[in-house]
Amino acid sequence: MAVRCAAALCALLLLSISGLALSDAPPSTPVSPSAACNATTDPTFCRSVLPPRGKGDLYTYGRFSVSESLAGARKFAALVDRYLARHRHLSPSAIGALRDCQLMAELNVDFLSAAGATIRDTDTLLDPQANDVHTLLSAILTNQQTCFDGLQAASAAWSDRGGLDAPIANGTKLYSLSLSLFTRAWVPTAKKAGHSHKGGGGGKGGGHHGHGGKHKKPPARRGLFDVTDDEVVRRMAIEGPERTVAVNTVVTVDQSGAGNFTTVGDAVAAAPRNLDGSGGYYLIYVLAGVYEENVMVPKHSKYIMMVGDGIGQTVITGNRSVIDGWTTFQSATFAVVGQGFVAMNMTFRNTAGPAKHQAVALRSGADLSAFYSCSFEAFQDTLYTHSLRQFYRGCDVYGTVDYVFGNAAVVFQGCTFYSRLPMQGQSNTVTAQGRSDPNQNTGTSIQGCALVPAPELAANTAFTTLTYLGRPWKNFSRTVVMESYVGGLVNPAGWMPWSGDFALDTLYYAEYNNTGPGADTSRRVAWPGYHVLGDGTDARNFTVTSMVLGDNWLPQTGVPFTSGLLS
């Protein structure tokens, strides 16, 4: 069977085995390590890792690679710890970058341990297990890239960084190998179960979608519950916006001192460790007020639900920025890592301003995190959808440059993206998606949303601001805008290059069934990676069901969602 493969994309060469391509053969088919490596993203590196005289199948090699990755992650974590122990000799920017690397390394050890435990004793994984492992292996590459980016940004003030460059590069190759072998061996089984996470498909089409439809408004905002009897709420489930939400404990944050805590950070710090969600959420009710604090929800603070009194009523605000010495990662006013986090009826804000460049309002690297009826307000890099699986419903996002960025598998539904007035000479880019490996199951899906100018941009006539749907932050950047209202502020080209022809043939950008004056695709970019989807077949890959497996975990959050296409 003749197979044609784009070498520039990922060097996914297919080897013929007994008349079958390796990708068509059962993963349990015995194959030499060298032959197995031909189906990976870097065959030469793969052959240097797998035992040369070994004989096994793709499952065997996948387990071996994950085990090697875990050993490498532990060594790298120890190396970062040693660098930090010499912190008196390092600049503040270097220390900040190393602390980011420290967290990323710890998470990678956790993720690889969990992935290895799942695949250790079985050759058969169906969703959600297969998607869980695929998500974890995708996230370790994102974490590694975050570490590298931070160190690179700090390199001007740090001459002693060289000892980390080679371990980071080798770790990235090893993690990519683990992800590649896993997708070859286990993901096809999951796809047979009816869930596809493939980002390709859909040739580039012509023409445009209609402009006469109305923007689908997000659902009306409403309070989640009325805290009138804490004991009743503790003992009984509370009624969420869509369905009953199980709650284990309720605490209140009130600046007047009438609640359990006066700061959000203290309420988070008091949360029990490592809840699994089966016994309900630790619910933090944050009364109306402006809370000037930077909050971090750590990895062991799982299944926290945070509910405010509404957008603009309950506000968490800070002003950290890259210009003031923080890494982009650490600039977040609110950051969450703990799995299962849910926020409702709140505003997250960074007031650093456009002149301070990267300044994040909220960063989420929390798997199975959801945000409902929240607003995220800043300028450059407002919302950092860092990694893992996330969902946003009925939210408002305000920003200028790359104001939704990161490498999570994330779906926005019924949200409004407000492009603000940037500094003179800047263009607005709504998204900057950071997928760096072709096997990552990540991407940004914008469904049933509105992309419109913020009031100050709409009112300004002093200079013309160009606004684009997105630009490719990393090589395999993947973003889809579908069933949404695209305002006239969006440039007819739609998408903006990052630098020259970087990633234009490896990215995946697509539009499907959008409306509004900016939805005309007849003058869009002519990049190889850009697609106009003619029907819903490929668009379904970017719905809640397929992109984040939301049917499995969103019901318990109480956040409303639509599983598939809207029409």
Please write the tens of the pLDDT for every residue from 274-329: 999 999 999 999 999 999 999 999 999 999 999 999 999 999 999 999 999 999 99
Given a contact cutoff of 8 angstroms between Cβ atoms, the answer to whether 389 and 408 are in contact is yes
Segment 377-385 shows an average pLDDT of 98
Query: In b/e form, how buried is each residue of 85-106, taking b as 16+ CB within 10 angstroms?
Result: eeeeebbebbbbbbbbbbbbbb
Same fold across 33-186 and 247-552: no
pLDDT of residue 93: 86
Report d(CA 207, CA 432) in Å as an integer. Answer: 25
Report d(CA 143, CA 146) in Å as an integer. Answer: 5
Q: How confident is the model at residue 16 (pLDDT cuts 50, 70, 90)?
A: very low
Pairing mode of beta strands 244-245, 238-239: antiparallel
| Close Cβ partners of 201 (under 8 Å, ≥ 6 residues apart) | 537, 538, 541
Closest CA to 142 of 400, 411, 405: 405
**Between residues 522 and 192, which one has the greater pLDDT?**
522
The answer to whether domain 247-552 has CATH 2.160.20.10 is: yes
Q: How confident is the model at residue 460 (pLDDT cuts 50, 70, 90)?
A: confident
Segment 525-535 shows an average pLDDT of 96
Please write the tens of the pLDDT for every residue from 254-263: 999 999 999 9
Query: What percentage of residues in the chain have a pLDDT greater than 90?
Result: 75
Q: How confident is the model at residue 159 (pLDDT cuts 50, 70, 90)?
A: low
Pairing mode of beta strands 334-336, 362-364: parallel
Segment 36-64 shows an average pLDDT of 91
Segment 434-462 shows an average pLDDT of 94
Q: How confident is the model at residue 236 (pLDDT cuts 50, 70, 90)?
A: very low
pLDDT of residue 509: 98
Report d(CA 377, CA 383) in Å as an integer. Answer: 8
Q: How confident is the model at residue 233 (pLDDT cuts 50, 70, 90)?
A: very low
Segment 73-102 shows an average pLDDT of 90
- Continuous segment of H or E residues that includes residue 249: strand 247-253
Neighbours of 198 (CB within 10 A): 12
pLDDT of residue 92: 84
Highest averaged pLDDT of the listed ranges 18-27, 145-154, 159-168, 519-528: 519-528
pLDDT of residue 89: 79
pLDDT of residue 187: 86
Segment 151-171 shows an average pLDDT of 83
Integer Rg of the chain from CA: 23
Report d(CA 302, CA 23) in Å as an integer. Answer: 38
| Close Cβ partners of 220 (under 8 Å, ≥ 6 residues apart) | none
pLDDT of residue 241: 62
Q: Any idea what DSSP says for residue 513? A: S
Q: How confident is the model at residue 87 (pLDDT cuts 50, 70, 90)?
A: confident
Residues marked active site are found at: 402
Q: Is the pLDDT of residue 19 over 60?
A: no
What's this model's pTM, rounded to 2 decimal places?
Answer: 0.89
Please write the tens of the pLDDT for every residue from 202-232: 333 333 333 333 344 333 333 344 333 343 3
Which residue stretches of 271-426 are H helix? none
Q: How confident is the model at residue 113 (pLDDT cuts 50, 70, 90)?
A: very high
Q: Is the pLDDT of residue 384 over 70?
A: yes
Domain coordinates of the chain in residue numbers?
A: 33-186, 247-552
Beta-strand (E) ranges in 268-403? 281-286, 289-292, 295-297, 304-307, 314-318, 334-336, 342-344, 347-350, 362-364, 369-372, 375-377, 383-385, 389-393, 396-399
Q: Any idea what DSSP says for residue 495? A: B
Q: What is the domain class of 33-186 according to CATH? A: mainly alpha
Report d(CA 224, CA 234) in Å as an integer. Answer: 15
pLDDT of residue 216: 40
- Range in 235-244, 296-305, 421-430, 512-521 with the lowest mean pLDDT: 235-244
Segment 456-469 shows an average pLDDT of 87
pLDDT of residue 410: 98
Token pair for 460: 């300004």
pLDDT of residue 163: 85
Q: Is the pLDDT of residue 58 over 90?
A: yes
Averaged pLDDT of the chain: 87
Cα 456–376–490 angle (5° rounding)?
50
Q: How confident is the model at residue 160 (pLDDT cuts 50, 70, 90)?
A: low
Query: What percentage of residues in the chain have a pLDDT greater than 70?
Result: 84
